[in-house]
Structure 1
């Protein structure tokens, strides 16, 4: 249902260099009720550390190809300008907001499509530098795989079954497991969901303290999926499975940027500049580079990256050029 004519939402500047916006999603008894929220700002270094602060959850998802055509009503928390405004969001965002909304309590979420001013290239570049910490600090990361096509509950049931039966006698190592054809089809269908191919999800899932997969109404702890993947290597030869395992490895031991670029070369992004930007949360501070989406093109990013890496290790300059030529 379209809302009456409402002015478009205008983003206010962030209150500090380390501030983030958070969606406060208002409750509704009906799934179909108009989506309403307010946007608040947290100074990440101060307010997010307070024990009495309402901590947020972050959402990891794919944007999809459809344009922003759904309406999100943004209620004002400004006493001088109390009028409501409207923000257009993509169908995928509309879908998971409805699923995550509660009937009687507000929900605090970080959603990049809403919390970042996508039209401000400078702000976007600054916020991308914080995204690793945003996902690391979130109390939970909700992974939205899309609406359930009737397979979510069955697939997650198979994963739970394999977890309960798939360890060795000592209960510590996953056994090599032979899957039935129907189980292979279900797990392959899950791992071929678009989310598993997206480049940005690498750091989002690697840095999550607690991640939950959502497929329509069905949900599953991400740790349950991760625990069966090593034993599935003979049955599921998929890039997405290797991506998840490598992301877990990157969360345990630091990987250099060149290694990350090689290991995640198959992960996709719509903007070639994001091939570097999407990995910034996983590298050491010395390897991070600032990206200005208003001024930087792909060539300038790779040139700056090459200069930085060569200055760090002059002896490997030739190898660095070979690597970056392959990626750029």
Structure 2
């Protein structure tokens, strides 16, 4: 069966919902196709102790403030999921859950969107698939030899499964620091990072990060000196659990090990450590396999863009992949602005 819409949005997480909000306001015909069976995006699959960096009011999608969570300054992931479920319902967004997009192809004036439940034809496509489904693990020597358990951030849920074990957490970003802190008191934790951890000042939260990213983008757009953005401030937001573990001396990072052995890890100085599990908190790549058939120019996994629009095909927009597609666009508070700009460009193209 083939169906038609002016715009097909691929992905029903926070970026897809923000796109839907602005497309609806502009009176544009669209549908949102989401591979997950239920609303809530990737927030449904995070670890149990995860908290937002900011209070609820500063973590909202366009049009609807996130309500505060009772007893929490910064809401947890379950609260975010409930907010996204309500957001989708409140605005009556046409999201079809459980529909996986396999490929997008060029058919001249239209784009053909093939799914596991039929075909759509659209005048424009918004890709909002994020990165959660493409976890990245570096090619470390000995990974296949290691007999213990290996998992990525996406598979970590809580410390109970590691009680009493020797665990190496790899990665000097927020997920590495938060998961290492979560495990302290439950497991023997070694935190391995490629460079010494860089904490942001304790009073910096998501509001400051968004403002900093926006100021950097404005400076670049106006031809002024690059401010360095969020990367200039540091890599790790000192959320309360991380701050507590750090101040208690429980987050002392070691340099990255050089290889894994059958029983553990080995460092450059020859020292070795027996390990039961390795948790790779080593980031993600954009989930863009569905666009391979368009054969667009890409560098390091990022398709060339002008703002959110694909440079080589103005019918295609990208939302929610990080600074590549707009300042802080991978955040709840940041994606609304780029979604609004993309919707306006789509309106003009359709006209």
| TM bucket normalised to smaller | under 0.3
User: Which of the two has greater helix per residue?
Assistant: 1
User: Which of the two has greater strand per residue?
Assistant: 2
TM-score by structure 2 length? 0.24
